[in-house]
Amino acid sequence: EAMAARCPRSCGACDRKRGGGGGGQRGGRGGHRHARKRASAKPKGGGGGGGVERAGGRLSEAYLTAHAGALCPVVTAASDSDFIAARGLVGTAQEALASDAVVVLYDLGLGAAYRQELAAMCAVVVRPYARAADALTPWKPALIVEASRQFGCFVWADPQVRFAPLAGGDGGLMAALRAELGVRGVLALRSPGSLAEHCHPDALRGAGVEPTEALWDAGMVDGALLGVNTSSTAAPVGAL
């Protein structure tokens, strides 16, 4: 009962024995987990305004497909070495995003036990990563492109990212992110230094980009946290 009372989605299927409270905020075994009860559900308001209504806490690929246009999920990826960090990310997303929490986690090589534990957490869908035929294709840009095609609005977060709730109650953080993404199109963290400090000119030329002086002095973006709204008409520029 105590675990169910803390669940931000109030879906009533919390497993107290496995729940572990809010320890996920520190990367521990926290985060809400739910029994395998399934029920039909639909997003509030239909247009992606806020909150995701569903019973049982568990999501499916079918649910993501049916409501892709109304969701703004957190998208991440993890292998065995990222398991503890990913569990902490999910735990803080559950607490900070509350009823808006939807986490799509790509499996980059999780063991069966780790994959099962993450998939059992509330509002999480674990999906396989289909590696490109070209072994040199980096997985993160590929996953970000895939997420932008399916959802339009989403927040990429490395497993080490931690969310903190805003004052104002349920859904406040996601509402703020949606509003900013609607105006800016892209939100990203600034990284210290310039492109000149982190990239060789020949690396840019190899990618078909000529390192002009203006580009060379441009600031860097930290890829650990990236918000994207492909439907925004604004220039895709922003900083959290």
The helix-helix angle for 83-97 and 112-119 (nearest 10°) equals: 0
**Nearest CA-CA partner of 56 in 127, 4, 113, 128:** 4
Strand duo 153-157 + 124-128: pairing: unpaired
Q: CA of 155: how far to CAs of 92, 161, 173, in Å?
A: 14, 11, 12
Say yes or no to pLDDT of 50 above 90.
no
Encode burial over 198-225: b for 16+ CB neighbours within 10 A, e otherwise. ebeeeebeeeeeebeeeeeeeebeeeeb
pLDDT of residue 176: 86
For residues 87 and 80, give the distance between their C-alpha atoms in angstroms, rounded to a whole number.
11
Do 23 and 95 contact (CB within 8 A), yes or no? no
The string over 145-174, giving b where at least 16 C-beta atoms fall within 10 Å of a residue's C-beta and e elsewhere, is: ebbbebbbbbbbbbbebbbebeeeebbbbb
- Structure tokens that stand for 148 in this block: 């932008």
pLDDT recorded at residue 3: 28
Average pLDDT of every residue of the chain: 74
Distance CA 34, CA 78 (A): 21
pLDDT, average across residues 182-204 = 83
**Are the beta carbons of 173 and 74 closer than 8 angstroms?**
no
Tokens matching residue 90: 């999910």
Give every strand in the sheet of 74-78, ordered side by side: 124-128, 103-107, 74-78, 153-157, 219-229, 186-194
Sign of the C-alpha dihedral, residues 198, 200, 201, 207?
A: negative
CB 230 within 8 A of CB 152: yes
**Is pLDDT at 171 greater than 60 in this prediction?**
no
Task: Please check the confidence at residue 186 and state whether its pLDDT lies above 80.
Answer: yes
pLDDT higher than 90, residue 88: yes
DSSP code for 37: -
Return the HEC string of 43-102. ECCCCCCCCEECCCCCCCHHHHHHCHHHCCCEEEEECHHHHHHHHHHHHHHHHHHHHHCC
116 is written with which tokens? 């099962």
pLDDT one-digit tens code per residue, 116-147: 999 999 899 999 988 755 666 788 988 998 99
